[in-house]
Amino acid sequence: MLLSSVATLLVPLVDWLSKTPENHNRTPNKVSHVAREPLHLELRHLHAVDASSAHVVFSDVSPEKLNTLSALDSSTSTKPSYSVRPRRTRTYRPSSYAAHVRARMRSLELGESEKLEWEEDEIEGPDVESRETLLELAKMTNNAYVEPEDPAWYDLNGRWNISLPFGWEPESDGFRGHVFATPDNKTVVISIKGTSAGLFGGGGPTAKKDKLNDNLLFSCCCARVDWTWTTVCGCYRGGWKCDQTCLEDALISDSLFYPIGTNLYNNVTYMFPDANIWMIGHSLGGALASLVGITFGVPVVTFEAPGERLAATRLHLPSPPSTHHVTHVWHTADPIAMGICNGVLSSCALGGYAMETACHLGKTIVYDTVSNASWTVDIRTHGIVNVIEKLLAEPWPFSVEQGREVPEPVPQKDCVECFSWEFGDFD
């Protein structure tokens, strides 16, 4: 067994793995913990991906529609406005997006590093230590409450009436979500609904490619589980060897996972040019929210996301001085967030996926449901409804005991993943 530091082999430039996140010692001002008035976020748009062009498309939610929703309001999940408590959050944004793209491309294509300037900023982010705030954000990542009947979809370049984008069919499980805003448009939250089975569900021209990309981003070596398994790329070299160059070539530039997130973000900044934007997401949607958040320096909260640190490395994302504006919330009975959904008979393997990554960037709020609440590790605990109803709806006694509303947000310590693999040049 070789404890290889994947990052040094993958990309000398990107030092996600070696960097301790705590590399600035300034303590945040105490002022930041004064309780603030909650923000009220209301639903404005739906977003999805147009299957033919892979563009992000939007549909407006009319005020009438919202009124209908509030009239129907019998359960909390149809509530049209969400209250979240803000608090000061330090973020790092690249001097410009163009500079970020340049640095990333140089690393990706030439293996060279380029110094990128990061601007430190202190903005309003969500108060992740407030249970009620996490609960509201979790509800916002659950899109069960609005099923568009016949929404008129459009992209921002003026193309109207794109017929049903991929992922909105009730039975499909694709990449989609909502855009919320405060009445003054000053705070905007982009939610990305997750999926545990691929970005585009089961069809469309991009489906096959994306299944491949998910497996490259969230598994160690092309989703090889064992000898019975058909891998998604040919980089396996026998034993526990995986060819690094092969992996990178297989992934490279046409991975749609990350560009869909950056397009979504850029499109929303165009719609709300002066807004302070937050990203939230469940499962793979959370992993994507985080990758976008560390690109643009925006606050992020995810629920039950698979580890995205390896994906950040494989995508050659330049690493900001700190990623503490990203907070991952998960519990220990969820095999996807824990990175253990990969046995031959696991539900992930049955769907053609190996979810093996376990290391998350930023801070983590981990509910130990296995030791504290005797939950059994089970894919069915992964769902956002479970998180809303079983994890966040009531105070968590094991935190309350310690005088906290939620488990303490801390960076993941000494996280190791894919440790039995050796990555290198084997050809």
Ligand X SMILES: *[C@@H]1O[C@H](CO)[C@@H](O)[C@H](O)[C@H]1NC(C)=O
Q: Which residue has the tokens 């640190």?
A: 309
Q: Does 215 bind ligand X (CB under 6 A)?
A: no
What is the smallest separation between the CB atom of 409 and ligand X, expressed in angstroms? 15
Pick the binder of ligand X from 2, 71, 152, 400 (CB under 6 A).
152
Write down the least CB distance from residue 373 to ligand X, Å.
8
75 in catalytic set: no
**Min CB(372)–ligand X separation in Å:** 4
What is the x/- site pattern for ligand X, positions 51-90, by CB under 6 A? ----xx----------------------------------
Helix (H, G, I), strand (E, B) or coil at 248: helix
Q: At what angle do helices 97-110 and 284-296 cross, to 10 degrees?
A: 110
**CB nearest ligand X: which residue?**
368
Q: Which residues pair with 58 in a beta bridge?
A: 47, 154
Q: Which helix (DSSP H) or strand (DSSP E) does residue 349 occupy?
A: helix 347-350
Of 364-423, binders to ligand X (CB under 6 A) are 368, 371-372, 398
Rounded CA separation 89/29 (Å): 10
Q: Which residue among the candidates 4, 191, 283, 290 is catalytic per the annotation?
A: 283
Q: How far apart (Å, rounded) are the C-alpha atoms in residues 307 and 357? A: 5
Residues in the interface with ligand X (CB under 6 A) total: 18
Q: Is 184 in the site for ligand X (CB under 6 A)?
A: yes
- Kindly give the residue spans of alpha helices, DSSP state H, lying in 175-238: 207-218
Two structure tokens written together for 89: 């959050």
Site string for ligand X, 244-283 (x = CB under 6 A): -------------------x--xx--x-------------
Please list, in sequence order, all residues whose beta carbon lies within 8 angstroms of the beta carbon of residue 86, skipping any fewer than 6 positions away: 36, 38, 39, 124, 125, 126, 127, 187
Nearer to ligand X, 152 or 350 (CB): 152
Which residue type occupies 39? L
DSSP state letter for 396: -
Which of 301, 298, 299 has the alpha carbon at shortest distance from 286? 301
Smallest separation (angstroms) from ligand X to the CB of 418: 25
The yes or no reply on residue 8 touching ligand X (CB under 6 A) is no
DSSP result, 17-71: TT--S----PPPPGGGGS--PPEEEEEEEEEEE-TTT--EEEEE--HHHHHHHHH
Span near ligand X by CB under 6 A; candidates 4-12, 154-162, 212-220, 337-345: 154-162
Print burial letters for 299-310: b (CB count within 10 Å at least 16), e (below 16). bbbbbbbbbbbb
* Contact code string over 13-52 relative to ligand X, x by CB under 6 A: -------------------------------x--------
Cα-Cα end-to-end distance for the chain: 20
**Minimum distance from residue 366 beta carbon to ligand X (Å):** 8
CB of 333 vs ligand X, minimal distance in Å: 12
Q: Which residues are catalytic?
A: 283
Q: Footprint of ligand X on this chain (CB under 6 A)?
A: 44, 55-56, 152, 156-157, 161, 163, 184-185, 263, 266-267, 270, 368, 371-372, 398
